[in-house]
Structure 1
Amino acid sequence: MASGGSLFGTGPNGVFRRTVPRPETESERRMVRVLGLPQLTMIGVGAIIGAGIFSLAGAVARDIAGPAVLVSFLIAGAASLCAAFAYAEFAGMVPRAGSSYTYAAAVLGEVVGWIIGWDLLLEYTAIVATVSIGMSGYVGYLLEVVGVDLPLWMQGAPGTGEGHRVDLIAMLICLGVAWLLNRGTRTSARVDVVLTAVKIAVVLLVVVVGLSRVDFGNLEPFAPFGWGGAVTGAATVFFAVFGYDALSTAAEESVDARRLLPKAMVLSLAISMVLYVLACVVLTGMVHYTQVDPDSGFSSAFSSVGLQGVAVVIAVGAVLGIVTVSFSFMMGASRLWYALSRDGLMPKWFGELHPVRRVPHRATWILGVVSAVLAGLLPVEEAAELTNIGVLFAFVLVCAAVVVLRYRRPDLPRGFRCPGMPVVPVLGVLFSAWLMSFLSGETWLRLGMWLVLGLVVYALYGYRNTRRVMPGGSVDLSELPGRR
């Protein structure tokens, strides 16, 4: 092992020292362990199902993959499953809140944890923007139903339609979510389950009613953009099959994190994939892919076959369902920023809690403004790509880390063991890298600039400051308790 003075060692001065946030010692600040497998699974489904099915599926079907959009979801789901197994093994080893930032810092070292945490800030913010764009289309549809016609300039980002200058509704949604979060709103597990049930009910309504109106002639040609279009579509919709990571933020509220979190991650992905595939068949079977509305795909499809009432129900359900995803990821991003500030990697100012409402209000407002700018000025496909490259980058690191740790520390207690080692996590790396290759050069450039900026922040501030906040060398993962 490298000496404590080595910059690239695991000692107190090394950038690869392994750190874990200290548990709260005061009982009034400690989270209550109440979540079982059903609640955790519903939280995962709630984080996965959102704009991906209600909006992005339509945009990808029309412009990228055609009816083969269902193949896009299957490819993305296969890649996501490999990574889900890797995440599940981490969750079974490090039962602490903090997402993959906490996992990486505890297993791979501080600098790797910082890179993933910095990456997740961009990813979560872009997810909020993407989801808000998807919600904007359904809000616009509902306004049209009641006779409200918005000016063209505020109906979409530049390049998304004639006269479009900004997606004002999407911007207002982002700012509205930030405002509500700063009111001190706390979403209980019961509310999460109810809202997720509403979303699932709407998707089932789409499937049950829509299958009776499917014209299989609309599925021809099945892959009008070629199979390359289906793969490109997979890279675009990837964020729609990722959300189980949100479960890791509930680790300290699970009755048995080591055992239940891995199961909930896999179950939530499986349930969501079945719903995604059935919904894609309905969408491209009810109307020809060239006629799919990229903004409010399902509502417009049902309206076109004379089911106006069902279309309105779907639009309302989509708005209610999608807004929970915005809340989940903006809250996750603000709590991640709070964690980075708490651990000394970013200035304490960003993580300060409101004196009355006890929420990280500064971080939340910054995230709200940045996501609003992205939502207002980027088309949904570009916002989704920005999300996906961050997700895929994190997947590559997590999958690779599971392989390394399994052979370096086989003695560590694991609540879940990734099957097919090392084939499954290696496939996760290859799948993720392959999908990343289909993303645009501009998206790669944006990620590269963001990561370089992150390394500069770490070198100039985080490295020295975190040693004042969390002094000492590497932690021993084998001493982490699974339940209290």
Structure 2
Amino acid sequence: DAENSELRRALSAFQLVFVGIGAIIGTGIFVLSGLAAAKNAGPAVTLSFVIAAIAAAFAALSYSEMASMIPVAGSAYTYAYATMGEFVAWTIGWDLILEYMVGAATVGVGWSGYFVKFFAVASGGKIQFAKSWTTPTLTWTENPASISYDEGHYFNVPGFVIIMLITIILVIGIRQSALFNLIVVSIKLLVILIFIFALAGFMYKPNYDPYIPPNTTGDWHFFGVPGIFAAATTVFFSYIGFDAVTTAALEAKNPQRDLPIGIIGSLTISTVLYLAFCTIMTGAAKYTDFLNSPTPASVAVEAVMQRTGKNFEWLNILVAIGAVCGLTSVLLINLLGQSRVFYAMAQDGLLPPMFAKVHPKFKTPWIATLTIGFITAVLSAILPVDLLGNMTSVGTLLAFFVVHLGVIVLRFTRPE
């Protein structure tokens, strides 16, 4: 399959690293870092990121080994097919499709929020979008679990539109998609670095005291050492995405060499940036300030402005731009990943053959891409972010488990 692929081999190791970074750095750094600090670990959230990185590294090593041995599109689905047969592969294939779909829809809702915030901040509050067209149709209540129609919230238009635009870019071609990803990831990384260096001189030592807040509630996941591990389970979501590198195997120039570089390289760079970002963020503002805020970087900037009187409004605008770019790249890679799994399953006869059709001009699986993109856009428009977020991690953990198991199976069945 790898040799007879109709897809265009256009991705270098450098571009694959950016594919990985595009998928990894997004929701975790711009949303989850502050929530994990406020609810679980305090300033010690940096240790939580280290623990999560170690766990992700084990998964990354298994993915790297499988990618070098089986350099075919489809990620965990293909590895399951090659090592454990058709039924397991069919199950994990649908698991991956739903994981990427729900993940992309989640990010679409978040993208809409940052998009609205950017215009509000940049215009000084003059540009405001109607809430009825920027929030999902349905509302989710966790305790007791229920979903209901939110009267007055019609359709999340920005979330729907951005997903459809990225879907069209993916249909046009992998080279264009890679270039678009390179641009938005570069902007995202630049904004993160500017944030780190701009606030590095404004750290407030009392914000780090205590570094590990004591557990005073009796509930194990609120602060203390157990809270660090509880936060690690939350921020682990920040590292999922490196597996998307393997879905582009048939479009890599030298997959056996470049895929492991893309996986390990993107995970390493992302970890360093996460640690630096969290250190600056929790030093700029007290960890309790991040409670119930989906924009922790903005909270940190505003805390520095209040404490020092300096004008960092430009940084607030930059952070909003970085968040929009960051979430855009995550959307692109998630949509790329699920369309390639769809394509691989159709090639193996587990989905209708029309999903394996490659566009004669663009050399992309256009029917699979458009189908997946439209369904994801609709989910993003009508479902709330908390419901979508709760559905994402289970699929990821199952995929990781299958890849680990696949490596063990190959150790015994194909040791060479």
1:291 has 2:271 as partner: no
Report Cα offsets for 1:434-484 as digits up to 9, x if no partner.
xxxxxxxxxxxxxxxxxxxxxxxxxxxxxxxxxxxxxxxxxxxxxxxxxxx
What SS is found at the alignment partner of 2:202? coil
- 1:342 to 1:271, Cα distance in 2 relative to 1, 3 A: same
Output the amino acid matched with 1:285: G
Q: What amino acid is aligned across from residue 231 of structure 2 in structure 1?
A: G
> What RMSD in Å do the two structures reach over aligned CA positions?
3.1
When structure 1 is superposed on structure 2, of 281-290 and 265-274 the one drifting more is 281-290
Query: Which residue in the other structure is 2:76 paired with?
Result: 100
Where 1:341 maps in the other structure, the secondary structure is helix
Which of 195, 198, 209 is the equivalent residue of 2:184?
A: 195
Aligned match for 1:204, one of 174, 193, 199 = 193
Q: 1:358 to 1:327 in 2, by over 3 A?
A: same
Equivalent pair of 1:132/1:375 in contact (CA under 8 Å): yes
Question: Quick one: distance in 2 between partners of 1:335 and 1:164?
Answer: 37
Instruction: Provide closer, same or farther for how the CA distance between residues 155 and 230 of structure 1 changes in structure 2, counting only shifts above 3 A.
Output: farther
> Is 1:175–1:368's contact at 8 Å kept on the other side of the alignment?
yes
Contact 1:97 1:251 (8 Å CA) reproduced: yes
Aligned 1:96-245 pairs, distance under 5 A: 96-145=72-121, 146=123, 147-154=126-133, 156=135, 158=139, 165=153, 167-182=156-171, 186-187=175-176, 189-221=178-210, 222-223=212-213, 225-226=222-223, 227-245=225-243
Q: Greater relative contact order (Cα 8 A, min sep 6): structure 1 or 2?
A: 2
The answer (yes or no) to whether the contact 1:156–1:164 under 8 Å persists in 2 is: no
C-alpha separation in 2, matches of 1:286 and 1:86: 37
Q: Name the CA distance, whole Å, in 1 between partners of 2:345 and 2:72.
A: 14
For residues 72 and 175 of structure 1, do their structure 2 counterparts lie closer, same or farther at Cα, with a shift above 3 Å needed?
A: farther
Q: What is the Cα deviation at residue 212 of structure 1?
A: 1.9
Cα distance, 1:257–1:159 mapped onto 2, change above 3 Å? closer
The amino acid of 2:263's aligned partner reads: M
> What residue in structure 1 maps to residue 145 of structure 2?
none
CA distance in 1, matches of 2:36, 2:18: 26
- Match in the other structure for 1:273: 271
Contact 1:235/1:388 (CA < 8 Å) preserved in 2?
Answer: no
Q: How far is the alpha carbon of 1:61 from its aligned partner?
A: 3.3
CA distance in 2: counterparts of 1:96 and 1:355, whole angstroms: 21
- Aligned pairs for 1:302-313 within 5 A: 302-304=301-303, 305=305, 306-313=311-318
Q: Is the contact between residue 105 and residue 388 of structure 2 (CA under 8 Å) also seen in structure 1?
A: yes
Normalising by structure 2, we get a TM-score of 0.81
Structure 1 position 401, deviation (Å):
2.2
Q: How far 1:111 sits from its partner (Å)?
A: 1.8
Matched with 2:31 is 55
In 2, Cα distance between the equivalents of 1:75 and 1:121?
A: 28
Separation in structure 2 between the aligned mates of residue 272 and residue 257 of structure 1, nearest angstrom: 22
Partner of residue 397 from structure 1, selected from 380, 402, 411:
402
Shift of 1:65: 4.3
Kindly indicate whether the alpha-carbon contact (under 8 Å) linking 1:41 and 1:267 is maintained by their aligned counterparts in 2. Answer: yes
Give the Cα separation in 1 of the matches to 2:364 and 2:252. Answer: 22
User: Which position in structure 1 is the counterpart of 2:144?
Assistant: none
Deviation at residue 196 of structure 1 after TM alignment: 2.5
Structure-1 separation of matches of 2:105 and 2:316: 24
Cα distance in structure 2, aligned partners of 1:254 and 1:379: 36
State how far apart, in whole Å, the 1-side matches of 2:109 and 2:49 are. Answer: 20
1:338 is aligned to 2:343: yes
SS in 1 for 2:72: coil
Which sits farther off after the overlay, 334-343 or 227-236? 227-236
Displacement of 1:379 after TM fit? 4.9
**Percent identity between the two aligned chains:** 37
Contact kept in structure 2, 1:33 and 1:252, CA below 8 Å = no
Give distance in 2, aligned partners of 1:323 and 1:184: 17
Q: Distance in 2 between matches of 1:184 and 1:41?
A: 19
Give the AA of the match of 1:31. Answer: R
Q: Which amino acid counterpart does residue 209 of structure 1 have in structure 2?
A: A
Unaligned runs of 5+ in 2: 142-149, 216-221, 306-310
Separation in structure 2 between the aligned mates of residue 119 and residue 247 of structure 1, nearest angstrom: 17
- Contact 2:48–2:235 (CA<8 Å) still a contact in 1? yes
Match of 1:249 in 2: 247
* Contact in 2 for aligned 1:124/1:332 (Cα 8 Å): yes
Identify the residue that residue 31 of structure 1 maps to in structure 2: 8
